[in-house]
Amino acid sequence: MTTDTHDSASAGPPKGIGPMQRREMWLAYLMLAPTFAIILMIVAGPLLANFWISVKPVQLADLRPPTVLVNERVRGGPEAVGDSATLEYRLRNSSQDEEIRNVVLSDEIPAGFDIAEVPEPCSVDGGKLTCTLGTVAPGWRDRLQLEGTVTQVFLDADRPERQSEPQIAGEANNILTNFDFTLENFRRIFSADEFWSVLRVTFYYTIFGTGGALVLGLFAAQLLNTVFPGRGVLRGLFLFPYVSPVIAVAFTWVVLFDPFSGTLNALLTKMGVVADPINFFGQRAIEFSFLGIPMEFPLALTTVIAFEAWRYFPLSFLFILARMQSINTDMYEAAEMDGATPLQQFWYLSLPQLMGILSVLFLLRFIWTFNKFDDIFLLTGGNAGTRTLTVDVYEQGFALSNLGAGAAVAVVVFVVLVTFATLFIRFSPKEEGL
């Protein structure tokens, strides 16, 4: 008996779930359910759907499913009671290459129109017209004419045929939900010449954009890690690029760097630094020779990277500053006593302390920069050698109207991202809190 209690005590807390814990568990699931639902719907669902679309031959135009378009009008120009008139429905299949099945037209006969003759597929039942048209071929057109006479009510009404909208029912193949699969999208994007250069540009952009933002952030944090009047103002100012809407800062950069009327180029040319204005966002490369070897400097890409570093240094600045201010100053006093110089203190004391936050920031910023679409799209539209994978998704999917190819590029984006995340998680130091 005693040994029993001893045993269960040493085995730690009781196994299994008690009633109170079970209640807590269900409460927790209940509280998380809405979050789960919306994330499944808007994030996880589309992620899977993206894979689905990437293996289907979908064009942007296919999103509008084929329907029968109908136009109703009155012919014969009735002027007096008893005049004969024709109620005409013109029908057209909106698609040139998809048939539509089980097409049914239904409409209300306008008040005061007495029907004399009904075309073959139609029937009238208590003022309600139903025409069963069956399957219609691609590009099909037809007219249905109802003959009849009019009464005063019909003549009094203003455009009586507009009183009710004709309704069309029908089924067509929806290319999004059928089971036609193709690898054409992937074949197309991988065989394109520019794909590999897009991939290379993406990596340059991601690596240098991330590095630039981190280095600038580290420098800015060093600047503001001392107390001086106006520090709060500067800290607020340094956060401006990050807080402002991307459209505002991107267009400001475009205006600032404009080759014809931009301030920067005007300054450079008027002050005699350069002879001709530089098209910072439009010129793919500047050629120069270094030690006799002709080389190319990717100008637009560099400007875009500079924008990235400029816009996102505040984030790393904030985190690094917060970490710096939490470092114990005793250590620096001790180092000072031992005669360590300021640079030694930075290199051997501060930097190791900051390594954790720096690596976390690198990871986060690397992934976010890789995912970035807005900045490049607004600055250059992906031209002049700045097209990254994310801009390529837009280019393929919407500019070239090939949704399937866009989704295929998006799959590539996702696969590369997962690879990175896995590598980072495997090899990065474990930082508490993340």
By CB under 8 A, tell whether 47 contacts another protein. yes
To another protein, the closest distance from the beta carbon of 75 in angstroms equals 34
To another protein, the closest distance from the beta carbon of 37 in angstroms equals 9
Residue at token pair 């499913």:
65
Counting runs of H as helices and runs of E as strands, what totals does the chain give? 17, 10
CA 103 from chain centre, in angstroms, equals 37
Residue at token pair 């299994």:
16
By CB under 8 A, tell whether 326 contacts another protein. yes
To another protein, the closest distance from the beta carbon of 123 in angstroms equals 32
Which lies closer to another protein via its Cβ, residue 32 or residue 331?
32
Which lies closer to another protein via its Cβ, residue 68 or residue 249?
249
Stretch of 20-28, 103-111, 120-128, 289-297 contacting another protein, by CB under 8 A = 20-28
**Per-residue contact flags (x/-) with another protein for residues 222 to 241, judged by CB under 8 A:** xx----------xxxxxxxx
Which lies closer to another protein via its Cβ, residue 87 or residue 249?
249
Least Cα distance to 224 among 236, 211, 213 occurs for 236
Residues 374/250, Cβ–Cβ less than 8 Å = yes
Residues 212/305, Cβ–Cβ less than 8 Å = yes
Round to whole Å and give the CA distance between 374 and 381: 9
By CB under 8 A, tell whether 199 contacts another protein. no
For 32, other C-beta atoms within 10 Å of its C-beta total: 11
Stretch of 98-106, 145-153, 198-206, 367-375 contacting another protein, by CB under 8 A = 367-375
To another protein, the closest distance from the beta carbon of 428 in angstroms equals 13
Sites for another protein among residues 242-281 (CB under 8 A): 243-249, 251-253, 255-256, 261-263, 266-267, 270-272
Q: Which ranges of 272-388 does DSSP label H, i.e. alpha helix?
A: 299-325, 330-337, 342-344, 351-371, 374-379
Which lies closer to another protein via its Cβ, residue 80 or residue 227?
227
3-class secondary structure, 79: coil
For another protein, which residue of 63, 124, 137, 400 counts as binding (CB under 8 A)? Answer: 63
Size of the site for another protein (CB under 8 A): 96
Which lies closer to another protein via its Cβ, residue 132 or residue 325?
325
Question: What percent of the chain is helix, strand and coil (3-state, nearest 5)?
Answer: 55, 15, 30
For another protein, which residue of 81, 183, 322, 351 counts as binding (CB under 8 A)? Answer: 322
- The greatest distance separating any two alpha carbons of the chain, rounded to the nearest whole angstrom, comes to 115
